Chain A
Amino acid sequence: DQQVKQNSPSLSVQEGRISILNCDYTNSMFDYFLWYKKYPAEGPTFLISISSIKDKNEDGRFTVFLNKSAKHLSLHIVPSQPGDSAVYFCAASGNFGNEKLTFGTGTRLTIIP
């Protein structure tokens, strides 16, 4: 039972354009969502998070949007840079981050120079 889904295994975007990565969840108890970035042979690193009391959180070039009614979140990267090429994982938790993280399967983002 995949409670967190990332339906696009890969995405290619031109440098300078906007990258949009999507994530859907099924568990209504999830109220805290995170995005992690992973380079090859390294562990995931935390990128940005959002609590269910908000619908948008912004940090520099990265913005996460949450649509609770649709159980959907997205990560926007603008402008996209070559260093953004990585695998991006969406993760969800309950109790505002105090429950264990449930990860999606990841989306490989490739930025084309």
Chain B
Amino acid sequence: EAGVAQSPRYKIIEKRQSVAFWCNPISGHATLYWYQQILGQGPKLLIQFQNNGVVDDSQLPKDRFSAERLKGVDSTLKIQPAKLEDSAVYLCASSLDRGGEQFFGPGTRLTVL
């Protein structure tokens, strides 16, 4: 069974530029999560989808971050414009349903210069 796929694996941008990350969850998983992991910290949930609806986006900086999961399968996370403090690893995870075991992708390492 294929795991959670993410691309790109690495991205370097200048501050104030835009960037987008893509995630393809495990087939059949209804719940999709985006986490931000800053160096030296644990992953922090940014947004949780149940199918194509948002369950929790309380920690998403909505002035610059947006995410969508239009067809209830893959998802895109966008940052526009990026700030230096957005440098982090962005992890996507999926689970069969809410409360289920979360399977993580390898992450996208973003560096903002």
Contacts and interface: CB of A to CB of B under 8 A. Distances in A.
A75 B102 CA distance: 19
Given A43-B93, A100-B56, A91 B42 contact: yes
Interface string A22-64: 0000000000000000000111111000000000000000000
Contacts of B25: none
Contact of A105 (B42, B98, B101, B105): B42
Interface residues of B, number: 20
B74 to A, nearest CB: 16
Contact of A103 (B43, B103, B107): B43
Contacts of A91: 42
B102 A46 contact: yes
Interface string B70-113: 00000000000000000000010100001101111111000000
Interface in A84-113: 89, 91, 95-98, 100-101, 103-106
Most chain B CB within a 10 A radius of its CB, from A43, A95, A104: A43
A105 B43 CA distance: 8
A4 interface: yes
A113 B44 CA distance: 34
Contacts of A43: 4, 91, 93, 103-107
B104 A45 contact: yes
Contacts of B101: 46
Contacts of A106: 42
A4 B45 CA distance: 14
Interface of A: 4, 41-46, 89, 91, 95-98, 100-101, 103-106
24 contacts: A4-B42, A42-B106, A43-B4, A43-B103, A43-B107, A44-B91, A46-B101, A46-B102, A46-B103, A89-B42, A89-B43, A91-B42, A95-B99, A96-B99, A97-B99, A98-B99, A100-B45, A100-B48, A100-B56, A101-B43, A101-B45, A103-B42, A103-B44, A106-B42
